[in-house]
Chains A and B, each alone.
Chain A
Amino acid sequence: AQSVTQLGSHVSVSEGALVLLRCNYSSSVPPYLFWYVQYPNQGLQLLLKYTSAATLVKGINGFEAEFKKSETSFHLTKPSAHMSDAAEYFCAVSEPGNQFYFGTGTSLTVIP
């Protein structure tokens, strides 16, 4: 069985500060892992994905995530938050070829 846990449903950071959004997963086989972003009144857009290549994955808009098998984690980071980063972020896990399982989401607020 697969599942995703996102710690913190709401995260607030100051503009220019580090962004850290946490994601832990469970999977019986090596998973594929994803971060999606949802801006207000829009669909989900892929930020980045891990598919068993490099463990440090770089995505769009300066975001990156590191796959840590020993910790079953795939935390999302960005060194310096920008106002435009305010959005809902979803972590997802998939076993290759199978359906996705999404976390409950983390709403990021950026304080000017």
Chain B
Amino acid sequence: DADVTQTPRNRITKTGKRIMLECSQTKGHDRMYWYRQDPGLGLQLIYYSFDVKDINKGEISDGYSVSRQAQAKFSLSLESAIPNQTALYFCATGNGVNEQFFGPGTRLTVL
């Protein structure tokens, strides 16, 4: 089984809809991250959490919110999706020392 899982893997939605992307991990790491990947821009950090009670904004948090339901779960929400949020979204975990482990990604299309 994969260490970091993301659901759904693909999602098409309409402008104005609320959508939640979910991430679960079995690595036992305290730190979890949400990134957005756009062609030519690399990965941009949306939000990160160093433990269940710690949530921090990243470079591009506007239009997004997160929830850390447990050590193993970190969800990303788009309250009112817009077309420029069409992207590939990655969840990652980290042990705070020297590596991040990535999920397989969620491809989101907002029409």
Contacts and interface: CB of A to CB of B under 8 A. Distances in A.
Interface of A: 9, 32, 34, 36, 41-46, 49, 51, 90, 94, 96-97, 99-100, 102-105
A100 B100 contact: yes
Interface in B47-63: 48, 58
Given A43-B90, A99-B33, A49 B99 contact: yes
Among all A-B residue pairs, the 4 with the closest Cβ atoms: A43-B102, A104-B42, A102-B43, A44-B102
A70 B56 CA distance: 33
Nearest to B2: A43
Chain B residues touching A, range: 20 to 34
A49 B97 CA distance: 12
A103 B96 contact: no
A103 B102 CA distance: 16
A41 B104 CA distance: 8
Given A46-B99, A96-B97, A100-B45, 18 more contacts: A32-B98, A34-B99, A36-B102, A41-B105, A43-B103, A43-B104, A44-B43, A45-B102, A49-B99, A51-B97, A51-B98, A96-B98, A99-B48, A99-B58, A100-B33, A102-B35, A104-B40, A105-B42
A103 B41 CA distance: 8
Interface of B: 4, 33, 35, 40-43, 45, 48, 58, 90, 92, 94, 96-105
Nearest to A96: B97
Contact of B42 (A32, A49, A103): A103
Contacts of A34: 99
A9 B40 contact: yes
Contacts of A42: 104-105
Contacts of A96: 97-98
A65 to B, nearest CB: 15
